[in-house]
Amino acid sequence: MSFPTNLDSFVTPDNTKYQDDPLYTETAIIWALNTAVTALETKVGITWSADTSSLDYKTSRITTKGDILTHDWINPIRQPAWTNWHMLVVDNTSATWLGYIAPTSGGTVTSVAFTNGNGVNWVVSNPTTTPTLALSFPNSGIQKSNGTALSTATAWTDYSVPTGTETLTNKTLTSPTLTTPVINIGSDANGDTYYRNAGTTKRLWIGSENLFMTSDWAIPQWNNPFAFEGTLIIPTATSNWGWVNASTHYQTTELTVGTVALIRGTSWYAKVRYSPDNATWTDIYSISTVGSNTFPLLMRKWYWYYVEVDSPVWGSASSATLTALF
């Protein structure tokens, strides 16, 4: 048997083995098991075994709270806890090289000294008896540290001055609460407006009277709301000879405002019409009694418009005019 040096290998008979095989006889198998059990009991040991190689002996040495299991090169040995506040130290005079000693105390300070530098001066009083240490800083003002030394900080570079009028340069205000702030950008004036452009703040001076603020898709600007550029069209229809007379059809390219002037003489009607497709037409307004009417017309983008009149062969003429900026 190999145990406890090595693990044993046991044979297990099956239906391929013969009873006359010397390795698989009952005697051989029982002998192997008996030998293995004996080896296990010897290795484990009895309770409070005196066999220093048994597991019981090695594990039963620790019997008291605070015990430490150590070794003396041959056998495991119990190192008991010691008096309160004693320290466990290396002691090569003991069998285990471990031992407890009482804590040391006392001693005398023979001298205390410091080297001045890095923006700090040290003053030591009573260096050989009861030393006291006082610090002083040779640099005046607010101090800053670079991790190893102190130096005088610079206002508005290293810190902000709480009072006084100063100029902020390359500073970001994070969630600021400002009381009566004044922001000067260029030459300020009452009514100026500030806007953001390409990451910076720009000033838009107050516009002239009655101007409107508009946008060119980039920045705000002041414009006259009644001054536009475009093509002025004046489609007109006139009739007093007994037939229908219609103006040219015009299509808008933007939302625009026009003016309609309808005059009905002795004709049947004078009207203005619109169509989304230049095919299906709808009357916007038709004057069917003698008289005239002039009114503004809001004209939709991409719609078609024209004016039309109809009159009998006698009487006064009728006319219709649409004036708009395209």
Q: What local confidence, expressed as pLDDT, does residue 230 receive?
A: 57
Q: Which two tokens stand for residue 262?
A: 């309808």
Are 276 and 213 members of one domain? no
Domain-embedded: residue 209: yes
Asked if the structure places residue 175 within a domain, the reply is no
Domain boundary (101, 134, 169) is at 101
The predicted structure's pLDDT at residue 102: 82
Nearest to 202 by CA among 216, 218, 217: 218
Neighbours of 221 (CB within 10 A): 14
Mode of pairing for the β-strands spanning 318-325 and 232-233 = antiparallel
On whether residue 261 sits in a domain, the answer given is: yes
* CA angle, 283 then 320 then 275, to 5°: 30
Q: Is residue 284 within 8 Å of residue 275, measured between CB atoms?
A: no
CA of residue 29 relative to chain centroid, distance: 74
Beta strands in 141-235 (DSSP E): 143-145, 150-152, 193-197, 200-204, 212-215, 220-223, 232-233
Residue 293 included in any domain:
yes
Cβ atoms 264, 291 nearer than 8 A: yes
Do 199 and 251 share a domain, yes or no?
no
Provide the CATH number for the domain around residue 316: 2.60.120.510
Measured CA to CA, the distance from residue 66 to residue 2 in angstroms comes to 38
Query: DSSP assignment of 108-161, as one string?
Result: ---------BTTBEEEEESTTSS-EEEEE-SS-SSEEE-SS-EEE--BTTTB--
Based on the fold, state whether residues 256 and 317 are members of the same structural domain: yes
pLDDT of residue 185: 65
**Residues 3, 45: Cα–Cα separation, whole Å:** 15
288 belongs to a structural domain: yes
Residue type, 283: D
Q: State how many domains the chain has.
A: 3
Q: Are 204 and 272 part of one and the same domain?
A: no
**Residues 71/73/74/80 CA torsion (nearest 10 deg):** -20
Token pair for residue 148? 């190893």
Task: Supply the range of the domain harboring residue 221.
Answer: 195-227
292 part of a folded domain: yes
202/268 same-domain check:
no
Sign of CA dihedral 154, 156, 162, 165: positive
Q: Are residues 301 and 269 in the same domain?
A: yes
Say if residues 275 and 281 touch (Cβ distance below 8 Å).
yes
Residue 227 pairs in a beta bridge with none
* Same structural domain, 274 and 207: no
What one-character DSSP code corresponds to residue 236?
E
Whether residue 112 is contained in a domain is answered as: no
Same domain, 281 and 257: yes
For residue 36, what are its two tokens? 């293995």
Residues 246 and 300 in one domain: yes
According to the model, what pLDDT value does residue 106 have?
A: 59
Q: Are 219 and 279 within one domain?
A: no
Please indicate, yes or no, if residue 11 is contained in any of the structural domains. Answer: no
Instruction: Tell whether 238 and 217 lie within a shared domain.
Output: no
pLDDT at position 233 is 67
Report residues of the chain scoring pLDDT below 70: 1, 60-62, 105-109, 112, 114, 164-166, 176, 178, 180-188, 225-233, 239-242, 267, 311-315, 326
Q: What pLDDT does 278 receive?
A: 94
Give the tens place of pLDDT for each residue, 264-293: 877 678 899 999 999 999 999 998 888 899
What is the model's pLDDT at position 312? 64
The H or E element that residue 324 is part of is: strand 318-325
Assess whether 258 and 306 both reside in one domain.
Answer: yes
